Amino acid sequence: MIIISILEMFLSNGAIKKKGDPMHKALPIILLILAIAFSGCTGSDSPDELALAQTQFERANLNLNGKIVDVKLVPSDIRAGEKVTAELVVANTGTENITKETIDIKAKVKTLNDTMANLALKFMDDEKKTRTFTMDFDEEIKPGTVKAISAIFNTQQEMQGRSLAGTYQITITLSVNGQKVDAKLLPVTLHSGTPREFMPTPTPPPTPTPASTPMPTITSTETPVPTPTPEPVVTATPTGVKVPARVMANRFTEPNKQIDVGDAILWTNLDDETYTLVEVNGKIGNITLNNRATYVFNTTGSYKLLLYYNKVREPYSYQSITVMVNTSK
């Protein structure tokens, strides 16, 4: 999913003509509305807009189809001015390979937390409150499979001294190989507060190859600036333990699992359907589940699996897996 910050909107200020006019003081407030930034998402907020998101597009090529299966923003409680990672999970529900994806994002400001700025919104038409942006990708997605597409963007904290915290609405339209196939409508909230810096989870380094150590060179160094300590990642060899899990009636029977690092999960499929288990953040590869499937989790962390199949429909089924170090061993 791809969501980007909208930095500016252009609005005529012809209504503000005289310096002495009281409305002249509202000019900075109106101008701040021209900057739009947004974050975190769930659900829909009007029947008409929901109908738009569920539009069935007329497809010239009936063999080419796709679906937006999942949209996730990290962090979920985004503050204005923070960097955001957007994850969009796209499924190929047709019979032809998808080689190009286009994401059109239409964003419209709904309300602003700043009282005066919110009042000024009432004098703007929908066209002036809305802008559309496009992003292209070249990911190959074969029929019956899914792929996570991610994007990192920055939100804007304020403009003209006014906070841009508030609610926004975005429509995400997916086109594959040049053909529109699906759309999602999402309300978006941008929270107030001091922007935070998030440290990415480090990837375990490979085992180094022994090499000769050169003589150290003494150089002057600056006093280091303390930085937040990221949560350590622990890797382990397989323990041989297999933790059972089941899929039945197109659902994970256990939405949450906690295992020790090095353990495996053994999924048993009680349906006739063939499933694909998709880690929505791309931390591991897709897992095909026919009758049984096993995966060894050698690295600590949190994993979120989506249960995907050809005729998947909402509400989707997820399984959250927490991999931890067993300190009792």
Q: Give the pLDDT confidence of 221-261 residue by residue, as tens digits.
A: 444 545 544 556 777 789 999 999 999 999 999 999 999 99
**44, 183 contact by CB (below 8 A):** no
* Domain definitions of the chain by residue range: 22-190, 242-324
- List, for the chain, all residue ranges whose pLDDT scores fall below the cut of 50: 1-45, 48, 50, 53, 203-213, 215-223, 225, 228-229
φ, ψ for residue 137 (rounded to 5)? -135, 155
Domains 22-190 and 242-324 belong to one CATH topology: yes
Which architecture does CATH list for 242-324?
A: Sandwich (2.60)
Which residue bears the tokens 């979920």? 76
- pTM recorded for the entire structure: 0.60
Encode pLDDT of 267-282 as tens digits. 999 999 999 999 888 8
Q: Which fold has domain 22-190?
A: Immunoglobulin-like (2.60.40)
Q: Report the pLDDT value the prediction gives residue 298, as an integer from 0 to 100.
A: 92
Cβ atoms of 178 and 100 within 8 Å: the answer is yes
Q: Which residues pair with 182 in a beta bridge?
A: 174
Contacts of 248 (CB under 8 A, 6+ apart): 270, 271
Count of positions (residues) in the chain: 329
Strand stretches in the chain, DSSP E: 66-74, 83-92, 101-112, 130-137, 146-154, 158-159, 162-163, 166-176, 179-190, 242-248, 251-252, 256-260, 264-269, 275-279, 287-289, 292-296, 301-308, 318-324
DSSP secondary structure letters along 85-122: EEEEEEEE-SSS-B--EEEEEEEEEEEESSHHHHHHHT
What's the token pair of residue 61?
């090529």
Which distant-in-sequence residues (6+ apart) come within 8 Å of 327 by Cβ? Answer: none
Element (H, E) at 28: helix 27-32
Measured in whole angstroms, how far is the alpha carbon of residue 202 from the centre of its chain?
A: 19
Is the separation of the CB atoms in 68 and 88 below 8 Å?
Answer: yes
Give pLDDT, residue 70: 86
